[in-house]
Amino acid sequence: MMMKMLEAGGIPPLTDGLRIADEDNPRGYFEWEGVKRLEKDAGFVPEARGRALKVISELLYHLPEGEAYRVIFLRRKIAEILRSQEQMLRRRGTFRADGPGDGMIAPILEKSALKAMNFVADRKDMLMLVLDYHTAFEETGTMVGKIDDFLGGGLDREAMAAVVDPALYRQRSN
């Protein structure tokens, strides 16, 4: 959703189109495979200047110094992430009931997210905006305004807000 919002606002995404839209993510994934090799090869980073690039938190550590990064850290409740992942794995027939349970995975994911946010906060070449996923649905205008302000203004706020579709928030926590 965030990548689609940024694109609608006027920031072109750096994507490769390899992972196409599906039932789990009907608007697409907006990913670029090169990110997965970031630890070994960050040569693509200059190509991402002025564009939106999705980077999972575990790979933020490998972004090279010397650039000016704006990191939008979109937090989502761990229980929602786990339910979403389980549903996706079930649809694909790869879910393993004998795998580690949510009670084991949730604390690891939470610790990992906090560690990544602390890392970004300590980097002089990174600015960070932390947003809660549910805010996009409950306070869309406020969230869009924060994103636009954080990125320097001039984005199409109306188009960004129009991307938010409550029907796609399928794994809500209470």
Q: For residue range 90-117, what is the model confidence (pLDDT) as tens digits?
A: 666 766 666 555 667 778 888 999 999 9
Q: What angle do CA 67, 74, 138 make, to 5 degrees?
A: 140
pLDDT band at 83 (very low <50, low <70, confident <90, very high): confident
Around 29, how many Cα atoms within 13 Å sit in the side-chain half-sphere? 14
| pLDDT greater than 70 at residue 46 | yes
Structure tokens at 108: 């690891």
Pairwise CA distance, residues 52 & 26, whole Å: 19
* Cβ proximity of 42 and 66 under 8 Å: no
With residue 130 as reference, give the H or E element that holds it: strand 126-132
Q: Which of 31, 3, 5, 12 minimizes the C-alpha distance to 160?
A: 5
pLDDT for res 90: 64
40: which 2 tokens? 């070994």
How many Å apart are CA 20 and CA 126, to the nearest integer?
Answer: 30
